[in-house]
Every structure is written in C-alpha cells, then in structure tokens.
C-alpha cells in the first residue's frame, strides 16, 4: 500500500519518495505517479456521491425529527451514512493530493465499515495494521487479510439474513394456504399495515438494499483478494459502480420507503407492536394480545387469552 513509483529524481531508489511527493505533487517523477491508487481520482463521481449521501443523511435526520419513530433504525443508517460521507471526503482529499496517506486510509476504512457495522472492528483493525506496515515499509498482507475477513463476514451475515427471510416467507405462505386469514394477527392496526402498498414497498426496498450490499461486499472481497496492487484496484469505475452506485441505491430505497411511514401503525401500538420511539417491542407490556380478540385490541387492553412473552 505504497505509491506506485519509488524512483527519485536522480534515478536511484528513494524510500522517502512518498514523503517528498506529498509536498511536491507536480515535481519530476511525482507527476506520473498515481500515489496510493492505481488510477487518478475523478472528482465528479466522488463529489456526487458525497452530495447524495449528505442529502440522504439529512433526510433520515428530518424523518426522525418529525416522526420520533424507528430511532434504532435511524441511528444505524445515520452512522453508516456518516462513514460514507467521511470516506468520500477522503477520496476528494486524495484528488487534491494523491500522496496523502491519511486521506487514503480514511476512505478505505470508512467506506469498508459503512455498510455493515458488525464487521467494523475487524475492518478498522486491518486498516490500522496495513497503515503501520506501509509506513514502516513492511508487508501489509496481515492487515489486508483481516479486512478481507471482515468483508467476508459481511457477505456471510447478509447471506444468512437473506436465507432466514426466504425461509420465513415460505413458512408464512404455507401457513396462509393451510389456515387462511386465521394464520395472521387480525388486530385492525396490523391488518391495515399488512394490506398496505407502502408496507409491501418497504419489503421490496429492504430486499433491494440487502441485494445491493451483498453485491458490493462480494466485489470488495474480490478487489482486495489480489492485494493493494490487484487488477480490480486499477479500475476506478468498477469501484464507482459496485461501491458507490450500489450503496446509493440501497440508501435511497430505505430513504423513500422508511419504516416510520411504511408501518407507522406498528410503531405506535401500545401492546405487541414495535412500539414507537426505539422501534422495539413495548417493554412496558409483557403480554401479547391473542389472535381472535379484535374487540379487546380496540380497547388496547390484554385479554384473558393473552400469552406471556
């Protein structure tokens, strides 16, 4: 993870070349050196992604401010978007100075962590180790391998999520065919959400986002598997397409079909719903209302047939 050229102005090897070029980006051999990348950063797509993710961040903050619902969901999305914003700011800083290691490490770590926080510790640790190895002219393979492990964990967890979702859908369809409408909770709030187009649109948006992040993570595993000088590292527009655009699509889908608007009745329920501001089950109630008690659910009081959670 070092600049691509290490030849001093007099033609001899110069281990301090990265530091010379950092201060003299247009001097001698530095002119044709692409720095820590295998290509010259293009400002336009990176500035566009920065603007889009900033607008999306504002959108999630405004949605939460007006609805006060789904806070856990909003916090996760806001943290991910902050990583994307910082990452693309690092790429823009690299456009100004391609020899700035801090900018390079900022973008590689933040854009890797953004889509999945469960693997963040592995990825951040790997980026730090690769940085130390590079500055000391040692192999960055260990740090790179740790980052790949983190990305592979992202792929595995998303695949597990998709598998569980498909299994749940199959079981739900089978139960509906067997029991008909009795298979589902008949409380008015839940029936309204279940039959609404906006809830179905949210499910489609969630599926699209999962697919986009899965594809993106698989690409990043392939990109890093050949090391920092691998063939995929040298194609900027593969990065733009499989990193930037896919994450834009994933975020935009959840911006538009936000759970605060697509299933607000569930978030507002006092008993057995997703309860309000945190987007979790109501902790004040330890009961769920049974399926057949529509009249009691209208009064929002547990029936004698309630089942303890």
**Residue labelled with tokens 């806001």:** 78
Which pLDDT score is estimated for 269? Answer: 66
Which pLDDT score is estimated for 16? Answer: 56
Which pLDDT score is estimated for 226? Answer: 78
Nearest CA among 247, 238, 300, 289 for reference residue 53: 247
**What phi and psi, each to the nearest 5 degrees, are found at residue 265?**
-65, -40
Which pLDDT score is estimated for 90? Answer: 94
Q: Where are the domains of the chain?
A: 1-33, 34-268, 276-308
Distance CA(250)–CA(56), nearest Å, equals: 11
**What phi and psi, each to the nearest 5 degrees, are found at residue 288?**
-115, 140
Which pLDDT score is estimated for 3? Answer: 54
Which pLDDT score is estimated for 58? Answer: 96
Distance CA(279)–CA(260), nearest Å, equals: 9
Task: Render each residue's pLDDT in the chain as its tens digit; 309 residues.
Answer: 555 544 343 444 444 566 677 777 666 667 777 777 888 889 999 999 999 999 999 999 999 898 888 787 888 888 889 999 999 999 999 998 888 888 888 998 888 877 765 434 344 444 444 444 444 455 556 777 877 887 888 888 888 888 888 888 888 888 888 888 777 778 888 888 888 899 889 889 988 988 988 898 899 888 888 777 778 887 888 999 999 999 999 999 989 999 888 888 777 765 544 554 444 444 444 333 333 433 444 444 443 333 333
Which pLDDT score is estimated for 283? Answer: 41
Which pLDDT score is estimated for 293? Answer: 39
Q: Which CATH architecture has domain 34-268?
A: Up-down Bundle (1.20)
Is the CB of residue 153 less than 8 Å from the CB of residue 117?
Answer: no
Is the CB of residue 21 less than 8 Å from the CB of residue 30?
Answer: yes
Which pLDDT score is estimated for 302? Answer: 42
Which pLDDT score is estimated for 7? Answer: 39
């Amino acid at each position: 993870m070092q600049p691509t050229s290490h030849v001093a102005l007099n033609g001899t090897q110069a281990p301090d070349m990265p530091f010379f070029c950092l201060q003299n980006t247009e001097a001698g051999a530095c002119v044709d050196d692409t720095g820590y990348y295998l290509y010259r950063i293009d400002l336009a797509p990176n500035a566009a992604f920065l603007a889009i993710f900033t607008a999306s961040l504002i959108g999630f903050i405004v949605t939460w401010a007006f609805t006060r619902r789904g806070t856990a969901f909003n916090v996760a999305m806001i943290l991910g978007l902050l990583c994307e914003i910082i990452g693309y700011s690092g790429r823009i800083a690299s456009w100004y100075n391609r020899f700035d290691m801090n900018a390079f490490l900022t973008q590689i770590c933040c854009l890797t962590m953004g889509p999945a926080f469960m693997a963040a510790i592995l990825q951040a640790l790997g980026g730090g180790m690769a940085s130390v190895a590079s500055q000391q002219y040692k192999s960055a393979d260990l740090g790179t391998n740790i980052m790949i492990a983190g990305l592979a964990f992202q792929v595995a967890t998303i695949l597990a999520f998709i598998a569980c979702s498909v299994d749940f859908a199959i079981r739900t369809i089978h139960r509906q065919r067997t029991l008909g409408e009795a298979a589902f909770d008949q409380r008015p709030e839940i029936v309204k959400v279940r039959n609404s187009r906006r809830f179905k649109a949210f499910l489609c948006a969630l599926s699209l986002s999962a697919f986009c992040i899965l594809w993106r993570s698989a690409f990043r595993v392939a990109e890093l598997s050949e090391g920092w000088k691998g063939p995929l590292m040298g194609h900027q527009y593969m990065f733009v397409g499989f990193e930037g655009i896919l994450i834009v699509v994933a975020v935009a889908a959840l911006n538009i079909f936000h759970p605060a608007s697509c299933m607000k009745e569930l978030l507002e329920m006092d008993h057995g719903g997703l309860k309000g501001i945190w987007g979790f089950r109501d902790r004040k109630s330890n009961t769920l209302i049974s399926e057949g008690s529509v009249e009691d659910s209208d009064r929002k009081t547990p029936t004698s047939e309630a089942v303890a959670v």
